[in-house]
C-alpha cells in the first residue's frame, strides 16, 4: 500500500481529467478505467509499480513506473504490444495442497500437491515453469493469463531499482555479495559507467541485455543538476534558432 498511487490522484492530479474528487467518482463509475485489463470503480484502488492503467474512451494506455529521480510517472504506451503485458517479480515459490478433492496432501507424501509462485503484485500463478526461482522476473500477459518470457536474476541482466536511495535507476547487475545473517548486496553499473550498490530486495530485473518494456525519460540514467541544466539550455538554443529564422523570413 505504501508503494502505490490511488486512482483519484492519477485522474485528478496527473492526467487532469477531473478537478474534484466527486468528478473522479463520476468518471470511474462509468466503468471507463481499467487496471491490468480489469474495470476498477473504486477511486481509492491502489495502482502500483508495473500496473497498466488504461482509459477506453480516450484510447490511452499508461504503465506506472519510476523515473530516474524515484518519482512515480505515468509512462504512455505507444506500442500496442505492451498494452496487455507487465513484468512481475517472483517473491515466493512453494508447493500447496490440492484441497478441491478433499484429500489430505500430507497423508501420502506430495500426492495431489500444486506448485505455485507469488509475484510482487499479489498474484498467485499455478503450475509455473520449474526453472523459475525467487527474485526472477516474468513477463506476464494478464489478458490470456500466461507467462510469455522469463528473465533470470543473475549477473549481466538489466535491472531497475524499486526501493532505497537509488530508486528509479537502471543498470546492469555486476555481482552478488552474500552476507549470512544480513542483507545481500548487489553491485550494479549504469550505461554511463557509474557504479552503485543496493540490497537484493530492491532489484527488479527488466530484461536480458536490453529492456523488455519501454522506459520513461532518461531511461533510468540519473544525471546531476548541472548536467540536466546544460542539456536543457542546449535544447532551448536548438529550438530558438529555427524560430528566429522564421521570423526574419
**Digitized pLDDT (tens) for each residue of the chain, 249 residues in all:** 778 999 999 999 999 999 999 999 999 999 999 999 999 999 999 999 999 999 989 999 999 999 988 899 999 999 888 999 999 999 999 998 765 555 554 455 555 688 999 999 999 999 999 999 999 999 999 999 999 999 999 999 999 999 999 999 999 999 999 999 999 999 999 988 899 999 999 999 999 888 899 998 888 888 888 988 998 899 898 876 544 444 444
Question: How far is 158 from 164, CA to CA, in rounded Å?
Answer: 18
Pairing of strands 185-189, 195-199: antiparallel
User: What's the pLDDT score for residue 209?
Assistant: 86
Q: Is residue 218 part of a domain?
A: no
Q: Is residue 235 part of a domain?
A: no
C-beta separation of 62 from 74 below 8 A: yes
> Residue 130 sits in which domain range?
85-151
Q: Are 50 and 8 contained in the same domain? A: yes
Q: Is residue 193 part of a domain?
A: yes
Q: Is residue 11 part of a domain?
A: yes
Task: Take residue 118 and report the three cell numbers written for it.
Answer: 507469488
C-beta separation of 66 from 49 below 8 A: yes
Q: Is residue 124 part of a domain?
A: yes
Burial class for 128, CB neighbours closer than 10 Å (0-12, 13-18, 19+): middle
Any bridge partners for residue 57, and if so which? Answer: none
CATH number of the domain that residue 130 is part of? 2.40.50.740
C-beta separation of 76 from 103 below 8 A: no
Q: Are 10 and 73 contained in the same domain? A: yes
The Cα diameter of the chain in Å comes to 89
Task: List Cα–Cα distances, 104 to 98, 111, 180, 212, in angstroms.
Answer: 8, 9, 36, 42
Q: Are 46 and 66 contained in the same domain? A: yes
**SS3 state at 238:** helix
User: What's the pLDDT score for residue 246?
Assistant: 47
Q: Are 10 and 49 contained in the same domain? A: yes
C-beta separation of 198 from 47 below 8 A: no
Find how far residue 200's CA is from the centre of its chain.
Answer: 17
Task: Take residue 168 and report the three cell numbers written for it.
Answer: 528509479
Question: How far is 129 from 134, CA to CA, in rounded Å?
Answer: 12
Q: Is residue 167 part of a domain?
A: yes
Question: How many structural domains compose the chain?
Answer: 3
**SS3 state at 115:** strand
The angle subtended at Cα 77 by Cα 18 and Cα 17, nearest 5°, is 5
**SS3 state at 113:** strand
Q: Is residue 170 part of a domain?
A: yes
Report pTM: 0.81
C-beta separation of 137 from 125 below 8 A: no
CATH number of the domain that residue 71 is part of? 3.10.290.10
Q: Are 67 and 133 contained in the same domain? A: no
Amino acid at each position: 500500500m505504501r508503494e502505490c498511487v490511488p486512482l483519484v490522484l492519477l485522474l485528478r492530479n496527473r492526467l487532469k481529467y477531473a478537478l474534484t474528487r466527486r468528478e473522479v467518482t463520476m468518471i470511474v463509475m462509468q466503468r471507463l478505467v481499467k487496471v491490468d485489463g480489469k474495470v476498477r470503480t473504486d477511486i481509492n484502488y491502489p495502482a502500483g509499480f508495473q500496473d497498466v492503467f488504461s482509459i477506453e474512451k480516450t484510447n490511452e494506455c499508461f504503465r506506472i513506473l519510476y523515473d530516474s529521480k524515484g518519482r512515480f510517472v505515468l509512462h504512455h504506451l505507444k506500442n500496442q504490444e505492451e498494452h496487455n503485458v507487465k513484468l512481475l517479480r517472483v517473491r515466493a515459490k512453494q508447493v500447496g495442497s490440492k484441497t478441491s478433492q478433499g484429500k489430505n496432501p500430507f497423508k501420502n507424501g506430495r500426492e495431489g500437491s500444486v506448485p505455485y509462485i507469488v509475484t510482487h503484485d499479489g498474484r498467485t500463478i499455478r503450475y509455473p515453469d520449474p526453472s523459475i526461482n525467487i527474485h526472477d522476473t516474468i513477463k506476464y500477459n494478464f489478458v490470456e493469463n500466461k507467462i510469455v518470457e522469463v528473465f533470470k536474476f543473475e549477473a549481466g541482466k538489466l535491472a531497475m531499482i524499486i526501493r532505497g536511495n537509488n530508486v528509479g535507476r537502471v543498470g546492469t547487475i555486476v555481482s552478488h555479495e552474500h552476507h549470512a545473517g544480513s542483507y545481500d548486496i548487489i553491485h550494479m553499473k549504469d550505461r554511463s559507467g557509474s557504479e552503485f550498490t543496493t540490497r537484493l530486495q530492491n532489484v527488479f530485473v527488466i530484461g536480458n541485455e536490453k529492456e523488455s518494456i519501454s522506459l520513461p525519460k532518461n531511461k533510468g540514467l540519473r544525471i546531476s543538476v548541472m548536467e540536466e541544466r546544460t542539456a536543457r539550455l542546449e535544447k532551448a538554443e536548438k529550438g530558438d534558432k529555427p524560430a528566429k529564422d522564421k521570423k526574419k523570413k
